[in-house]
Structure formats: structure tokens, C-alpha cells
Structure 1
């Protein structure tokens, strides 16, 4: 939600009126940045649905957790497919910015014959034979062995994702549309906050695809309440996995062992008692202003969530990655390839594996050099402002989607998250 809000705020500055459409519970996640919010109609007002869905996302693996999560995601997609057409018509929306991980936005745009662009807030999901599926921690291997491995991975992925793809295909046929998944991607513009240097090499990107840099709003200055002079290490497990007290304890203990101090962001997952019990006298909050605190840190221990990884790289900070779920193993594989991180499994982290990895990224300058190189590339990408200029050009009918200093008409653009 934060990257979409940042992109939306930049679109507002170009003259558009931007509204995020989703469940009523999502309103609390939309920052005060000039972007509006509209709740979708739901028989029960949608209260509690977001919390229920997030509970499924906290245990996204295993023979029970993975199918449950996929079924929950299919239900969320169906809810959006039912409710979005009426909401978009009611608001008089002229165009849609559809998040790439939610197929409902693009399909409804096609149904209503509205122009749309694809917003890629995480790893690019475009399938290529030489690129592994975006949820597996496989290394890049473009030879025949790698291609065969990737084909097998995609076959398993297609099987697992069938509840979602079947739901989308059902609505596509109901509306007289081609259900081919390729139409999920905009032919006008697919704009990513992923920098090109972080992704695996691509051989068949569509002409409408553009890499970029993080979409962020300005955050307030972050002053440390108690600086004891030790180097700082930022520790985060994102907004869904922040209840893993034992993993946070392993992180803060590793920081203390190397003579550093952990700065912990637990996303509200820890109680005050759990937070105060972490070893090493860490600085602990539910949230920190990441773009402000990370430049003050010497390294970061992260679960590999995409936004936090981008913030660390933008600050030139080397990473110890402990991937847990979703796209995190794939992001970790890319970090390893560019030399900006050491990868430690959750099991290894619980057995003391974080300390040697952290020592290495702190002592070996190559890790920081790789992170700083990526930071330079990301700064040149222009962030949310440049992405908004490309979106504006694409939606205003310009054939060249590069930033062109346009002065667009006052339109109504919906970010369908």
C-alpha cells in the first residue's frame, strides 16, 4: 500500500485525482498524502475481512498453510471482481493503475474498457524460461538444466495457483473476454519500482515494461532516543512476520555479539514484554521511518521483504537475509547474485548462523560496495515522481512513456490495489 500511495501522491501533483479502492478495513493503511480512499460495497461492510486474510498470510507455507493462503487470495480476488465494476462506475473513474499481484484490477479495466497501467511493486512476475518462478530461491541459470528446472517450477506453480486462475478465467468468460493470463499486463505501461540491476537478466521483456526505483514519500527525521555509540544494525521481519520473537532474539543477540546494537521494527507483532526481553539492549519499536534510520545503520538483517530490501539498498547498506515466505527467497537469490547480501535460513538463524554472516558483511567491503552501487542506480531512476510521469504519459495517450514534462488534464485515476 505504501508504494502505491507514494505513486498516487506523485500523480496528484501532475493534476490527477487518485482514489485507492479496496475493503473498508484498508482505509487505515492509506497514509495522509493527498490520495483518496473509497470502500468497496460488501454485504457485511467488509469489516474484519482484511484481518482474517492477513492471519492466513502469516502462515503461508506447509501442506495446510499454503493451500489455505491461496484459497484466501482467490476469495479476495473474487470479492474485488464482484465489487470493483460498480465502484469504478460510481466514482466516474477514467483509468486504472492495477497492482500486478492482483489480477482483478486489470480484468475489470478490460471489462469496463478503461485504460490501465500495471504497477509492479515487488519482483517482476513476467514468466521467462531462463528466470525461475518469483517465489523460489533458485539461482539464475540460463542453460538447459536451468530451463528444465524452471519449467518444472512453473508447472507446480500453475497447479497450486489454480484456485485463483480458475476464478479469474470464470469472470473473464462471463464478461466475454479472453482469459489468457497475458492480458493481465498492460500494453501501455508496466512500471516497476524494482531496479534493473537487482532483477535476473531478462531476454523477452515487453516493450511497455520499465524498471525504476523505490516509490517513497518523504518521511520525518528519525532521532535515536538512546545512542550508546555502538554501530547500528536494522532488524525487520516486515508487517506480517513480526510476531517471531525467537527470530528477533537471534537477530539482536547476533548484533550484540559483533559489538553492534539492533534497531528492531516488529510491525506490532511483539508485546511490550516480548520487546523488552530481547537480548543486547536493542532499540525496539513497531515501526521506524526506514528511509531515515537505514542510512544511520552499518548493516541490516531482514526477511527479504521487497520494500525493506529496496530501502536498505537505497541507503547503501549490506544485508543479511533470512527469507521466510512469498517472494523473499527469490529476492534473496537476487541479492546474493549482485553480492549485496549473505543468505541465512531461518533454521540456521536459530542455531547461531546470523553472527558469522553479520561479521562477514560488516568486514568485507565488497558487500557494502555492491549495495552502494545499487543505491547509485536507484537514485538515478527517479523514484515515484518519474514513475508518475510515465504513468501520466501512458494514460494521456502519449506513445512515448518516458517522462516528458506533460501538463495533463484534470482526470480521475484509480489505484486498484
Structure 2
């Protein structure tokens, strides 16, 4: 059968769809992916047909928006891009429907998939790769950049999240989206974060031990395990020079601020100083070399990309932004992790790790060499954290989220 995948975002958002698409293709299905242009080669290597939702220049422009990584103001450029691409996505799906399209699997930010569902009855499955976008009064996600949340009951966080919808998200996203819907003869959307979930099926790719299911979640939601897909990125193996570096000395600290970050210079400056003070080698993972100090100590290196599933088991600790894909890879490797959250879901995943005893959290304002060194030493030595990481690694090894997601996709497709 012909299945179309539509996704928008950075590596943590797109790689799970590549993994789902590859497995569906291996099961004999005809799979097409609609995603940003930089993921074309990865899609082709995975055996998928590919069309670009945006050009590489458009993608880089969106990621370079000055306020994109601000905890609150970053929502504006993010949702502006999502709504601007909704019409393109719907048109692409209309073209695919001529090719006997059976089912669409889409990220919640691929608004055009839901438009096609509302207008033409196209069956859609919404796939969430982070719990941050699943609303609940009982266990409301932590909001980016909001202080003192530890003192707030869940219902208050939920109320504040609804307020963010009314004051930040909906005013930016709904006017252009509803203008497009009016042209299609569709009624207006009143709440974006309610509408973007398909009423047919939702899949949350985070296991129940990490995100306990809530009684007020949508009835059409099911949970599967994490999508482990890092080897579908730029390269699938460690570079020979990186292998030589890892073989030459003690296990290094690894620092990354995510594949989409363009404003991480301060983070990497602190990272270098942490390595110097702790007398440990370090790896700075950053796609943009301009973020990394021009002059590095002999035992600190810059790497543009490396599969974390191969790198992390050979490292001492991971210090990162809190992207869900990075979190999952660290859990699978059993490596200590410290999160310095930036925006979006980062604060929520940082808090979940902390509650489970699986990592430490430092707000960006507190990420300074002395404080960070103290926290890293603590997570390296804590017996309770060591036991928690071992248990999490065992759970991760027994759970294949991509396979479970594909099983559910096929079940839905056979009932259509």
C-alpha cells in the first residue's frame, strides 16, 4: 500500500519518520516522505521517495531567526513557518492521492495533513515524538522559560499553557490557517493544539515508564517506545578520526546543543572551560562550526555529526539541550546526562529526567563552569543515578518503538 509521511522540524523531529518510513518500506509498502530539503539524501538512503516541503535556504532562514530559541518568543517564528507551509503540504497530498494513497502519517506541525483530512477525508495518523505537546490537567507539561514551576500544581501549569495558546500561539497561527480554510470552504479552527491531532489515531513515541498515561489524554492516543533513529542522519558510522580520538584516551565529555541550534557559542565556550577544569577530554557536537571556539585545547575536538548510539557508550557523560531524541539515546547508552534547556519541549524533558533520577538540570543562566563541574561530578558518582540509568538502559533494550509504531500504522490501514 502507498503511505505518505509528512514532517517538519530538525533531526529529532525528522529522523523518527525516516525510521518509520524505512521499516514500512522493508515491509513492502510504497512510502513517500515530505520533509525539509536537507533530509533528501537521508531519505533516499533509507529507500524512500522524497519531496521537499521547503528549500534548504528556507530551512536555514527559519532556523536562523533571532528569536527562534527564546523560551517564549520563539513560538512566533516557529508557528509562522508551520502555517506558511500548510498549503504546500495539502497540495502535495492531493497530488499523492492520485497515486492511490492509502494513509498519511504526519507530525502535528504538518498542518496540511489535517487540512487534507478535513477537506477530502484523507486518513491521517498524528505521530508525536515528545510528550510536551500532549495536554493534560493531571500531568501538565512544563512550560519553557517559566520560573518556579516546581511550586505549581499541575492544573495551574495547564491553565498557563492554555493562556499561552490564547496569547501567543493562536494569534500567530490561526489567522493565516483559517484564511486558508475559508478558501477551502472549511470552518475556522478555534484552538490549534486541539485541532492538529487527528481524530483517527495518535501515536506518542515515548514509553509509559517515561511518560505515565493520563486519564484525560485523547481516547485515540496510544503509546509506543522511543524511536531510535540516529544512524539515519548524515552518516551512519563514526568517522575514522573520531574512532582514533576515542581510542587514544579516557572517555570524554560530550556537549551538544542540538542540530538546529545556531546560537550556541556561549554554551560551547563554557563547555571548553568545563573540560579544562575537570581535566577531561571533550567532544563538541555542532553542525555549525561558527558556534565552536576557533582555538580548542589539544584534547577537545569539534565534530559536525556523529551517531549518538555509537558515540555515547564510549563517553563519560552527555551535556545537552534536552531534545527528546538526544534524551532517548543517552538513556539507551546508560550514560549520565545533564540538560541545559533552551526552549520548546526541553524544559519538560529535563524535568522528567530529574524526577526519574536519570539526570541533572541547569537553567542556561546557571550554566557556568564552577556550577556545571559540580553537577557533572555529582551525576557521575551518584549510586542512585547509576542504578536508575542501568534500569532505564535495560528497558530501552527491550522496547522497539519504531516496530510498534509500524504495527499500529498497518492495523489502522487494514481497517480503512
Aligning the two structures, in what range does the TM-score lie when normalised by the shorter sequence?
0.7 to 0.9
Return 5+ residue gaps in structure 2 as ranges.
1-13
1:78 Cα deviation (Å)? Answer: 4.6
Whether 1:302 aligns to 2:320 is yes
TM-align CA RMSD: 3.1
Which residue in 1 is equivalent to 2:28? 15
What residue number does 1:408 align with? Answer: none
Higher RCO (CA < 8 A, seq sep 6+): 1
Note if contact 1:252-1:282 (Cα within 8 Å) is conserved in structure 2.
yes
Q: Secondary structure at the match of 2:243?
A: coil
Contact conserved, 2:126 with 2:203, CA < 8 A, in 1? yes
TM-score (norm: length of structure 1): 0.83
Distance 1:47 1:307, change over 3 A: closer
Distance 1:152-1:61 versus aligned 2 partners, 3 A rule: same
**CA distance 1:91–1:53, shift in 2 (3 Å):** farther
2:265 aligns with 245
1:176 to 186, 190, 199: 186
Distance 1:209-1:128 versus aligned 2 partners, 3 A rule: same
Q: 156, 176, 197: which is aligned to 2:209?
A: 197
* 1:3 aligned partner: 16
Task: For 1:256-267, list aligned pairs within 5 A.
Answer: 256-267=276-287
Query: Is 1:231–2:251 an aligned residue pair?
Result: yes
Unaligned runs of at least 5 residues, structure 1: 399-417
Deviations 1:181-227 (A, max 9, x none): 54432344322222222226522233432222232348345362223
Q: CA deviation at 1:317?
A: 1.4
Task: Tell me: CA distance 1:85–1:242, structure 2 relative to 1, closer, same or farther (3 Å).
Answer: closer
Cα shift readout 1:211-244 (whole Å, capped 9, x = no counterpart): 2223234834536222343222221111122552
**Take 1:142 and 1:268, find their aligned partners in 2: how far apart are those partners?**
34
Per the TM alignment, residue 303 of structure 1 is displaced from its structure 2 partner at its CA by: 0.7
Greater shift, 379-388 or 25-34, is seen at: 25-34
Distance 1:135 1:362 in 2: 28
Q: Where in structure 2 are the equivalents of 1:52-201 lying within 5 Å?
A: 52-56=61-65, 59-61=68-70, 66-81=75-90, 83-133=91-141, 135-136=143-144, 145-162=153-170, 163-173=172-182, 174-176=184-186, 179=189, 181=192, 182-199=194-211
Q: CA deviation at 1:63?
A: 8.0
Deviations 1:144-165 (A, max 9, x none): 9431342023212332012213
Query: In structure 2, how many angstroms separate the alpha carbons of the residues matched to 1:172 and 1:246?
Result: 43
